[in-house]
Structure 1
């Protein structure tokens, strides 16, 4: 009948033979039972592969003597250290004095350049170290007499037996006969249903599957044969030995061996193959958060640097932070890969590239911001971009491509962005890749393979949610004795999200829930947690409350702080070393530190497998949300899932972030292809306003000549509309190389456009910042949830608006609705406008429910629009200005430090003056407006006044967005 030997074992031997291995029975091999190496075969290989040894064959004995010493050393220094030393010999990195005059020459045990020069043997029932009481290994694979792979088989017909039993046997062999694993590349175990492999001393929970195609089904002997056919190949095993194995020191200062998972092997080889082929020059690797992209980059960089066809290339690893303190950097620094160089300063990166440095350079995308010229034109420069989002790149992507015009660009991400003006697939996806990416490793794949854990979302008690109706009722009850003016003032202050989130009752309730939940559901299982709060002040509020409930030693705050000793957050400031020690304490299961309280730090790149539960009380969206919640999905002993306790109802957003519709992605890419095709026409159309103008000239006279081409308001409007189309098309395509041909023309046009933009919203020029509705390209491809800026003309004259009924009422209704939403947002804290917003919500609901037809809906919107205009006319502009300046003044007084000028009023006035100079009506709803205001604010705060606190900058911008 069926047993282990005649099913699993024989299937593996037969598959190996088909893959080019020669089968020899173990007892027929020329070795003693006490020999780890088949020394006769290895001596033959040494003579065959090394001319210096062939000249004097006795030299083979000298090499064998060295190798025997390494085999014996595992008893003293451990199996991993011994394996690391032997790996250096396997890779040909060791030398012997066999050259002329005793010169050292490399010694080849295996030929990694011409695989046909090696001998490949598969055997079974290998006995070591003696016939009696020796261990019997089911499958052993030898190259040139060196055992590189050991496999253990179990029967597929006993329900209680699994691959784990096979893997446990191998783990026991590593302890009882460690010499047999000194030369090992990897081990595998199977019961004929599932196949798993791992490196020496690897915990069983980290053993992984191996697939070669999209069929990841398991449970049959056929599925195991597919894995064996794909992995137990001579070229794959030698590739793993040379390029996909590395050694590192873990947090406990122990030496560990790391071997690639199948998705890392596939992704890295796709990159290498593409570079060796020379085309295409880019590609996207999309692997889920926590599945090992850092190591994929390590293996790719290692193989690229060693590949002879690439002639000593430069590999640049680009991270998306402002500094190099990232998980990627930590991974590269922890493994033993030669010639790694960090470029933490712009000057360093420029120097390395101009000097043609041939190493692995690690830098940040921001180090390219001052690039104005090509730094290196070599073809064999390969750029690996971590977390390849356009939000991190923007114009920096163009700068990077300007610096390295002929480089290969590969993006690696777990959370791609798929929007028209921010699209990872367009930025890095090659046209040759039908799906937009080279390799994808999904959320489902990572969970099924055991690379990550599933995520669970747990609803909290309803009373902890912020309920709008309940707040309104409570407010009415609280203020029934106040005057209307006092109510209005109170509403403006109390309606802010921060005030609601920081109310003492809510903080107490949330922290009470956290403490109870953690003590009953998390801590008993020996896991730890992370609390994510709204801002830094919330971190402190939660810490103080949790200290009462759990004790001060149970939690710690990790957040950004500035260098001001008087700052209220100064006591929570940690140096880099202090922070790392704190995080090591958190990773230590025996340490009393149980909860980390954060607001923005540690939401990306932080790796602590013991972290199981995230208490999320901060609104985060899209890829940022996915990155944050995946802090909990790492593998850990007895951990079955990551848990998100959701206090703000982000569950639906998380589901959306985890899903992906490839058809939508293809549609967006098709739209962008259309825009690319129309780009030359858009540029020509904008330039047509300036016939016979010499665009190479500069100075006020040249600018005046250009402005004179736009003499009337109608012509200015027309140019503004067409330039808006061009601008949005440019944003959607950036950083596509096609833009380089038009960059000087676009820059000239943008300068003219900016020079004509009115300082305020008043005046005869109706400035179409978002383009004209008559241009089809805007409607189809460019305007994505953007708001037109012609509301005032539409609603001041009601007769004019009612004349719009002759068109499509659904379309007109949508246009007015969008404009109303934008207008209402400007007065979000005013109770009058809150009521108007509620009216709009009710109208939209009735329309969606079919209670209002399109004509009735449009008429109702027109009435509402008139009321909005009437309400706006009662708003005092001066009052709005004073509120803005008052809010900014309060912020900068709080943030004042040693490096901040004492005169806060001057800072506020400068910001007020600059923002009023660059803004325009509806700027908050345009990418250009937001960028311009943010750049102006950045220059004022960071450059002029040297204020580097990011939270100050963020809050300043939020006030400006609200009041200006």
Structure 2
């Protein structure tokens, strides 16, 4: 049965659906002509030096939109060519796309905005889509599957993959990453990318291909390519992305690029609609922590400020933390907004409002205190309040409403509204005009489902370390003033009065025990996974004591203390004071996988707003509840992936030394549905592991009957010959392995160790047999690898898949080898591939390895029988032996002989003489791999040498292309 191809299944359909939504299809041939391809060059060279745009259309639209633009045709294109081929050049190009570029009006002797896209009247733009968008920078060539252009500017690329391929989307994204590395010029104008296999549809922005920033485009109909293309590529949607929803921000002194996701753009749109409704002036947006709430607020503020219907408004961005205030100002400044003020004091805030300032004002929420009534009665004042559940405390809400009586108030919160009196106040203030209290909601469950955040699992510490139930209840959980506690400062005041509770937590013997337990747990459970941890002490003094205790059982560089110091501190506290520079360095280093520290000891600082995806574990030794607990544990729920280390963070983990999670209903006063989505007991993972080992593993373990001898390997080769069956096994095994990694070491695992080790050995054999050189499935995780090594050393596993040496005796050796034909097929393919890698300067072997892979592919798809596949591979070995003798007789080296055989098979006249000429050309241009001019000259000499002796001239270019394709593969392998 034929398998679906990229073009038929995906690429052609995308063009069809795009055309149905208003995009005009431009044929590949027409696109190449409009980009200035050199048609007199061989096909492989025609893309060199071509334009990245449809030049004539671009210039035509510039003159149409900018009647006073008078520069020559090449002036603007020249400006674009001088932009850096990196994220900074891309950022500048976004400014052009948003019509913030400039040109000089000679007639009026002043600068004007350069309009490239008409956002006000979109029908004035030209929308085109084409395929096979090729580009060659002289070192590398790239061919993008589908490209969308607006007014001749490429803005979106879609990489299409065959739906029958394993991990097709991941491979598509890998190609996008390779395009960035090899032809970065393409991604100066291009802003978005998607990868699709007709089932999945992942999207992101160029210059950010980290997995956690690549998202699935959600549509009601799963797998419906038409619906996804027609919604994602809809002209209004794409214009909105370009104009509003791509953002740049600095993090750790590096520029990053992001795209707002569907829940973020939905909230911004809802907020704009609400703000412009005169009869409604309240709204509450709940977007769970880690889902990009800050960018949602920034974009809401920017769009409100630019909105014509808002009529030059005042937008107040009220923040609850100093750090966030600074970051907010930086991010807003990056948007190029001229009307931006920082109200650094109550007096300045009042003065700006009194003076009727129009623009965006950033300030701290507490600066509303004592604001005079009716300070500004305008209705086009929009107040966006971060962590809105905190504004209802005391009289702050009253000052807010009285001072700006006609303003619109939009509250944003990262935690769900609680069921306490505080929560009711939040709904009363912000959620009173919506049926269910929320203007827009993106819950914890939504976030986990989308992969925006990870699930959280907890485990209770041993009983002797937990706070006595009655003490925890009396001094904390049952206190009315502790209900709905909204920030760390409030929490600390409550804990100051909990004398018995704090004395227990800070007992010297207990601190020693907890420190030892933390050190052992980190070393055995967390460090092998590669991640980092927080230790949360009840107060600063506890943090200092924990640092001393940890230093006795871990290297001192493993941990650092981070808290706010004071001049009146004791000698103990001053020991860990940090200057701002040192603290910034610690924070930055902690976020990097390969740098110390591995554990941060904190009590207040960093428990809100600190985003470190490498943070996996929190050792919680501070009583917390409601919003403070949720904000703290959300530090560990950020997704993380490291391709180099082959790491994907499975979830966040909290080890509770207080006993808070033993009383979840009291500790988290939210709806039970939300609590269940927030955090789960680690015991659930144990149950899941046991279920999988008892329900899924037996069918695979039953395949092993003779302790992994050659017969068992034959059985595995045949059983997993079907790619779908293999894919399901890989998926199930990886789920079981990750559960083992999380739970281990634990006595619970003991009954399962032998079976798990055997299952891992099965995985190892199948993976080595069937995965190609692009490794999609990951190697064993660290703890599993140690178990497998121990298991293998105690057993005598045979390994019939050990590669054989390729030489004159190989054929007889394979025939005499025990085992079935399937094992021999796989073994021969792997052996040929390995031999080609070891001799990567021999194009003949590279070509032979390519043919061997095709044989395996045909074997796996059952298009070829086992005997036929084995016979085809043995013939390849015979051909290699024959060519070695012939090559020796002629005295040719590998390259010359390969060229000779290629020319001979193509029936080129005088193949020996032509081969010698081609070899001389290679010798005369030794820098051809590094020099564009040398490569071009080399291809020209080779092409002319073959032309002179070839009767079928249309064969010349394919011969040259095949030669250089193999040489490129050989170069990468080598």
TM-score, length basis structure 1: 0.61
Q: 1:602 aligns with which of 606, 623, 639?
A: 606
1:254–1:308 CA distance, 2 compared to 1 (3 A): same
How far apart are the structure 1 equivalents of 2:167 and 2:602? Answer: 45
- What corresponds to 2:970 in structure 1? none
Q: Residues 198 and 206 of structure 1 are in contact (CA less than 8 Å); yes or no, is this contact kept in structure 2?
A: no
1:327–1:47 CA distance, 2 compared to 1 (3 A): closer
How far apart are the structure 2 equivalents of 1:506 and 1:47? Answer: 76
- What corresponds to 1:649 in structure 2? 659
Q: 2:517 aligns with which of 505, 513, 538?
A: 513
1:157–1:202 CA distance, 2 compared to 1 (3 A): same
- What corresponds to 2:360 in structure 1? 360
- What corresponds to 2:449 in structure 1? 448
1:173 equivalenced with 2:184 (yes/no): no
1:854-893 aligned at under 5 Å gives the runs none
How far the C-alpha of 1:546 sits from its partner, in A, is 0.7
- What corresponds to 2:623 in structure 1? 619
1:182–1:572 CA distance, 2 compared to 1 (3 A): same
1:101–1:390 CA distance, 2 compared to 1 (3 A): closer
How far the C-alpha of 1:51 sits from its partner, in A, is 2.3
Q: Residues 365 and 391 of structure 2 are in contact (CA less than 8 Å); yes or no, is this contact kept in structure 1?
A: no
How far the C-alpha of 1:383 sits from its partner, in A, is 1.1
How far the C-alpha of 1:324 sits from its partner, in A, is 6.1
457-466 vs 40-49, which moves further:
457-466
How far the C-alpha of 1:132 sits from its partner, in A, is 13
Q: Residues 209 and 262 of structure 1 are in contact (CA less than 8 Å); yes or no, is this contact kept in structure 2?
A: no
Deviations 1:383-437 (A, max 9, x none): 1111110466441011111222222111111213333632365245455533221
1:388 equivalenced with 2:398 (yes/no): no
Q: 1:61 aligns with which of 63, 72, 76?
A: 72
Q: Residues 368 and 396 of structure 1 are in contact (CA less than 8 Å); yes or no, is this contact kept in structure 2?
A: yes
- What corresponds to 2:100 in structure 1? 93
- What corresponds to 1:293 in structure 2? 293
How far apart are the structure 1 equivalents of 2:371 and 2:498? Answer: 46
SS in 1 for 2:208: coil
- What corresponds to 1:35 in structure 2? 51
Q: Residues 291 and 447 of structure 2 are in contact (CA less than 8 Å); yes or no, is this contact kept in structure 1?
A: yes
Q: Residues 140 and 149 of structure 1 are in contact (CA less than 8 Å); yes or no, is this contact kept in structure 2?
A: yes
How far the C-alpha of 1:291 sits from its partner, in A, is 0.7
1:357–1:469 CA distance, 2 compared to 1 (3 A): closer
1:642–1:330 CA distance, 2 compared to 1 (3 A): farther
Deviations 1:632-654 (A, max 9, x none): 11122322221111112222555
How far apart are the structure 1 equivalents of 2:471 and 2:311? Answer: 69
1:181-196 aligned at under 5 Å gives the runs 181-196=187-202
1:398 equivalenced with 2:402 (yes/no): no
How far apart are the structure 2 equivalents of 1:399 and 1:469? Answer: 40
1:184–1:378 CA distance, 2 compared to 1 (3 A): farther
How far the C-alpha of 1:656 sits from its partner, in A, is 7.7
Q: 1:552 aligns with which of 542, 556, 559?
A: 556
How far apart are the structure 2 equivalents of 1:528 and 1:86? Answer: 38
Structure 1 residue runs without a partner (length 5+): 54-58, 472-492, 666-964
1:339–1:653 CA distance, 2 compared to 1 (3 A): farther
1:279–1:23 CA distance, 2 compared to 1 (3 A): farther
- What corresponds to 2:747 in structure 1? none
How far the C-alpha of 1:197 sits from its partner, in A, is 1.1
How far apart are the structure 1 equivalents of 2:186 and 2:532? Answer: 39
* RMSD over aligned Cα atoms: 3.0
1:458 equivalenced with 2:459 (yes/no): yes
Q: Residues 624 and 667 of structure 2 are in contact (CA less than 8 Å); yes or no, is this contact kept in structure 1?
A: no
Q: Residues 210 and 227 of structure 1 are in contact (CA less than 8 Å); yes or no, is this contact kept in structure 2?
A: no
SS in 2 for 1:51: coil
1:183–1:499 CA distance, 2 compared to 1 (3 A): same
- What corresponds to 1:317 in structure 2? 317
How far the C-alpha of 1:322 sits from its partner, in A, is 7.3
SS in 2 for 1:104: strand
- What corresponds to 1:265 in structure 2? 265
- What corresponds to 2:236 in structure 1? 235
SS in 2 for 1:48: helix
Q: Residues 430 and 437 of structure 1 are in contact (CA less than 8 Å); yes or no, is this contact kept in structure 2?
A: yes
1:462–1:82 CA distance, 2 compared to 1 (3 A): same
Number of residue pairs matched by the alignment: 628
1:200 equivalenced with 2:206 (yes/no): yes
TM-score, length basis structure 2: 0.60
How far apart are the structure 2 equivalents of 1:432 and 1:494? Answer: 40
SS in 1 for 2:388: coil
Deviations 1:529-583 (A, max 9, x none): 1111122221122111111111332222222343226565233333444433332
1:569 equivalenced with 2:606 (yes/no): no
Deviations 1:450-498 (A, max 9, x none): 2222212133233322456999xxxxxxxxxxxxxxxxxxxxx998122
- What corresponds to 1:16 in structure 2? 18
SS in 1 for 2:143: strand
1:435 equivalenced with 2:436 (yes/no): yes
How far apart are the structure 2 equivalents of 1:331 and 1:104? Answer: 26
SS in 1 for 2:422: coil
